């Protein structure tokens, strides 16, 4: 396609670039872009449709000269010209709209117009190699000297729009998910995310929650393994019973037996009263053993016996205590690798790994980053008594580009700091840590 734009076209591109470089509401930026297309290039009834990240449906998001409520018009993949462009990622140009049978005019904006006098242009909007939206407009056919040139200028505008439309897609995903969260009744909605990998985690939770099966949750530090354990407990038949959490990494061998299984009065120096252990405290409920991969060989042997026999002997006691508990464990280690190295018992590993759930790192959950950030903005805005309502485009860009080695925990700390620093109603790029 030609790339030798006229002075008028170059001025229009420059004006659109300036609009998109400003901090502000993303939808307003898209609306101003359509205004420039109309005033500078004579492209009327401009429309920007944003793709649903999960279904591929194209939803009308912003329109000019079209009397419809945006967010109500949807094109399925391959449906009409907009749906075809979204599905194929290739532009379409119609020199005589009156002869095009695939044109749906779903908005009804051209019912009173002579379509034979109109040319229609429709181009995909890409971000990082993926189609995220569709830009379309029509123009009086008599004003179109070279339709390929018209497509080229509209494609250049679409290239400028890529990042903004992507963020609009993420915003809409988040908005829909927030509505789902508000309407949902099941406690699993404490886990925030719309990405496919998180939806798979939620599916596994639903499958295993209402059983007594032992669960092993794996994933990097900060991914939210405790939330998964809580969701399993809250959705189980044991939800009215206690959930007892034990941090195995913080428990030395000398205290392990007493901490987990309890002790009788006088069992050792300092044992002035009888004390119940964590397993006994979890009777009828769930015990969550976090960082189970940190247990020493001695501790592993003692835990294995409880899992096998479902009974234990408190320290200094001759009686056996039977327990009815659900065991959920978590680790950030590769236990299979630890077994191969000889640092973790294979028999214990097979007892724990009955139903594994892997929590993906945040860098593999791109669509969830802004949703989580919005949630933390709301959380800490309320906690600190601040009226922070939004995150600017420049700050969103930084959040989406960072690789998040500390995962959700690092993101939460980042947003907490930003809310504290923010003096107005928005978080901007300078409120974020320099490491981003």
Q: Which of 177, 201, 229 is at the close of a domain?
A: 177
Is residue 225 domain-shared with residue 122, that is, in the same domain? Answer: no
* C-alpha distances out from residue 394 to 171, 291, 390, 391, 397, Å: 15, 37, 12, 8, 5
Q: Which of 336, 358, 380 is at the close of a domain?
A: 358
Max CA distance (Å), the chain: 99
Q: Which two tokens stand for residue 16?
A: 């659109």
Cα end-to-end distance, the chain, whole Å: 38
pLDDT at 2: 44
Domain assignment of residue 409, given as a range = 362-431
The residue to which tokens 């979204």 are assigned: 86
Q: What is the share, in percent, of the chain residues with pLDDT greater than 70?
A: 92
pLDDT in tens, the chain (436 residues): 445 788 999 999 999 999 998 877 888 999 999 999 999 999 999 999 999 877 888 999 999 988 777 667 889 999 999 999 999 999 999 998 888 877 888 888 787 788 888 999 999 999 988 999 999 999 998 998 899 999 999 999 999 999 889 888 877 766 666 665 554 444 445 788 888 899 999 999 999 999 999 999 999 999 999 999 999 999 999 999 999 999 988 877 767 777 888 877 755 666 667 778 899 999 999 999 999 999 888 889 888 989 998 888 777 776 778 889 999 999 999 999 999 999 999 999 999 999 999 999 999 998 889 889 988 998 999 899 998 988 888 888 899 999 999 999 999 999 999 999 999 889 999 999 998 8
pLDDT at 267: 59
Any domain includes 126: yes
Is residue 349 domain-shared with residue 374, that is, in the same domain? Answer: no
pLDDT at 134: 96
Q: Which of 335, 358, 381 is at the close of a domain?
A: 358
Is residue 232 domain-shared with residue 168, that is, in the same domain? Answer: no
- The DSSP code sequence of 198-267 is HHHHHHHHHHHTTS---EEEE--TTS-HHHHHHHHHHTSTTTTS-EEEEEGGG--HHHHHHHHHEE-TTS
Is residue 353 domain-shared with residue 388, that is, in the same domain? Answer: no
38, 75, 77, 45: which is closest to 60 by C-alpha? Answer: 75
Read off the pLDDT of residues 140-167 as tens digits, 9 standing for 90 and up: 989 988 999 999 999 999 999 998 898 8
pLDDT at 328: 98
Number of H helices, E strands in the chain: 14, 17
CATH classification of the domain holding 278: 3.40.50.300
Is residue 158 domain-shared with residue 66, that is, in the same domain? Answer: yes
Q: Which two tokens stand for residue 82?
A: 């907009």
Is residue 382 domain-shared with residue 426, that is, in the same domain? Answer: yes
Give the predicted TM-score (pTM) of the model: 0.63
* Cβ(134)–Cβ(125) below 8 Å: yes
């Amino acid at each position: 396609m030609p790339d030798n734009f006229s002075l008028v076209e170059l001025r229009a591109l420059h004006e659109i670039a300036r609009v998109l470089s400003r901090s502000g509401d993303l939808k307003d930026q898209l609306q101003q872009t359509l205004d420039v297309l109309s005033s500078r290039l004579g492209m009327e009834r401009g429309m920007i449709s944003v793709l649903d990240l999960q279904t591929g449906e194209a939803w009308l998001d912003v329109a000019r000269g079209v009397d419809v409520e945006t967010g109500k018009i949807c094109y399925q993949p391959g449906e009409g010209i907009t749906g075809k462009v979204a599905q194929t990622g290739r532009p379409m140009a119609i020199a005589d709209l009156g002869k095009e049978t695939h044109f749906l005019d779903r908005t009804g904006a051209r019912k009173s117009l002579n379509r034979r006098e109109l040319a229609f242009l429709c181009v995909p909007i890409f971000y990082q190699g993926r189609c995220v939206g569709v830009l379309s407009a029509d123009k009086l056919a008599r004003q179109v000297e070279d339709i390929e040139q018209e497509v080229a200028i509209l494609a250049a505008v679409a290239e400028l729009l890529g990042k903004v439309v992507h963020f609009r897609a993420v915003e809409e995903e988040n908005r829909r998910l927030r509505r789902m969260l508000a309407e949902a009744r099941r406690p699993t909605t404490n886990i925030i995310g719309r990405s496919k990998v998180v939806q798979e985690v939620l599916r596994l939770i639903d499958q295993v929650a209402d059983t007594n099966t032992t669960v092993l949750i794996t994933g990097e530090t900060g991914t939210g393994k405790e939330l998964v354990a809580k969701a399993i407990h809250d959705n189980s038949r044991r939800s009215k019973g206690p959930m007892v959490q034990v941090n195995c990494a913080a428990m030395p061998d000398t205290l392990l037996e007493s901490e987990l299984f309890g002790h009788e009065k006088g069992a050792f120096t300092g044992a002035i009263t009888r004390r119940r252990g964590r397993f006994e405290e979890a009777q009828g409920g769930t015990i969550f053993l976090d960082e189970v991969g940190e247990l020493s060989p001695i501790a592993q042997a003692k835990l294995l016996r409880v899992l096998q026999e479902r009974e234990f002997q408190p320290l200094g006691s001759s009686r056996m205590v039977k327990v009815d508990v659900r065991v959920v464990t978590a680790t950030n280690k590769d236990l299979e690798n630890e077994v191969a190295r000889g640092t973790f018992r294979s028999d214990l590993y097979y007892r724990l790994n009955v139903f594994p759930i892997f929590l993906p790192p945040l860098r593999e959950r791109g669509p969830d980053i802004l949703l989580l950030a919005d949630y933390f903005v709301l959380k800490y805005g309320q906690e600190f008594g601040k009226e922070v309502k939004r995150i600017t485009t420049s700050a969103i860009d930084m959040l989406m580009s960072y690789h998040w080695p500390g995962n959700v925990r690092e993101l939460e700390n980042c947003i907490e700091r930003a809310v504290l620093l923010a003096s107005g109603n928005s978080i901007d790029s300078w409120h974020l840590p320099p490491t981003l």
